Structure 1
Amino acid sequence: MSRTARAARLAALLLLAAVVPAAAQDWEAKRTAELQMLDKVTARVSVLRATVGQPAQFATLTILVRACNARPVGEVPDAAAWMEIGDSRSPGAPAFRGWMFANAPGVSMLEHPVYDVRVLDCK
């Protein structure tokens, strides 16, 4: 293998390691998502437990958790949930669809004028 080919291969491996670190592959699938719900109008905070695959209701929001993963015991705690959130006041396209992360809530979040949803944990 030429020096250029080795350098290109090393660069590709380093890029892959940066995108998918080995520790990030150690997630465990869980059955229940703990979500923090905030009503921005009343400033009321509550915790909603949503079972994966079953719709949960919070005010006008319908939350369907498709997957909920947590880090194993002994590693830095974190949780990630794939959710679809719809609002009965705005039928049609979902208000949110994607992953939410407990340790990085600003990365992917629900943009809603009244409600805020955050992942707390997966159990």
Structure 2
Amino acid sequence: MLLGNQINNFLLSILIFIFLFPNQIIAETISGNSVLFGGLDKITAKFTDFEINIGESKKFGTLSIKIFQCRKRPPEEIPEDFVLLTVNDMINPDNPLLIFSGWMFSSSPSLSALEHPTYDIWIKECKIN
């Protein structure tokens, strides 16, 4: 009987969540055409903004950044941008070192942060042109 009550409570909790937060469950995202990044050279303390189109690569210092996909929430939702990318350190061009591969999120840069001793990059915006 105790197990039945736990299951009922769990299902009730899920239903309450669905009714209280329906937009978070069914929200559609919008595909973007390019990504605006902020970059920091930690040695010189120089900030740089740069833009990369989807499917293209760009260098920032010794880093080579390739963008595969960028998505953003609709304007009526809580702002959030998602970018699928890879980052290679090209300090030795004959042997590039993959230092990041995956999704980055604009609202939580520390959630999937780039770990590099010299450079820091973050998403500023997934642009829809």
How far residue 22 of structure 1 moved from its aligned partner, in angstroms, is 4.1
Q: Which of the numbers 95, 117, 120 marks the counterpart of 2:121? A: 117
Give the Cα separation in 2 of the matches to 1:110 and 1:98. 10
Comparing 87-96 with 72-81, greater Cα deviation is found at: 87-96
Give the Cα separation in 2 of the matches to 1:41 and 1:47. 17
> Following superposition of structure 1 onto structure 2, how do residues 15-94 of structure 1 map, counting pairs within 5 Å?
22-23=23-24, 25-89=27-91, 91-94=95-98
Over aligned residues, Cα RMSD in angstroms?
A: 2.7
How far residue 43 of structure 1 moved from its aligned partner, in angstroms, is 0.5
Report the 3-state secondary structure (helix = DSSP H, G, I; strand = E; otherwise coil) of the residue aligned with 2:76: coil
Report the 3-state secondary structure (helix = DSSP H, G, I; strand = E; otherwise coil) of the residue aligned with 2:50: strand
Report the 3-state secondary structure (helix = DSSP H, G, I; strand = E; otherwise coil) of the residue aligned with 1:95: strand
Aligned-residue identity in percent: 29
Give the Cα separation in 1 of the matches to 2:88 and 2:36. 18
Give the Cα separation in 2 of the matches to 1:61 and 1:105. 18
Larger of the two Rg values belongs to structure: 2
Give the Cα separation in 2 of the matches to 1:8 and 1:83. 40
What runs of 5+ residues in structure 1 fail to find an aligned partner?
Answer: none
User: 2:96 matched to 1:95?
Assistant: no
Amino acid across the alignment from 1:114 = T
Give the Cα separation in 2 of the matches to 1:50 and 1:36. 11
What runs of 5+ residues in structure 2 fail to find an aligned partner?
Answer: none
Q: 1:34-68: per-residue Cα shift (whole Å, max 9, x none)?
A: 11111000010111101111111111111011111
Residue in structure 1 matched with residue 111 of structure 2 by the alignment:
107
Q: What's the TM-score once normalised by structure 1's chain length?
A: 0.81
Cα distance change of structure 1 residues 98 and 69 upon mapping to structure 2, 3 Å threshold: same
Amino acid across the alignment from 2:8 = A
Residue in structure 2 matched with residue 4 of structure 1 by the alignment:
4
Aligned length: 118
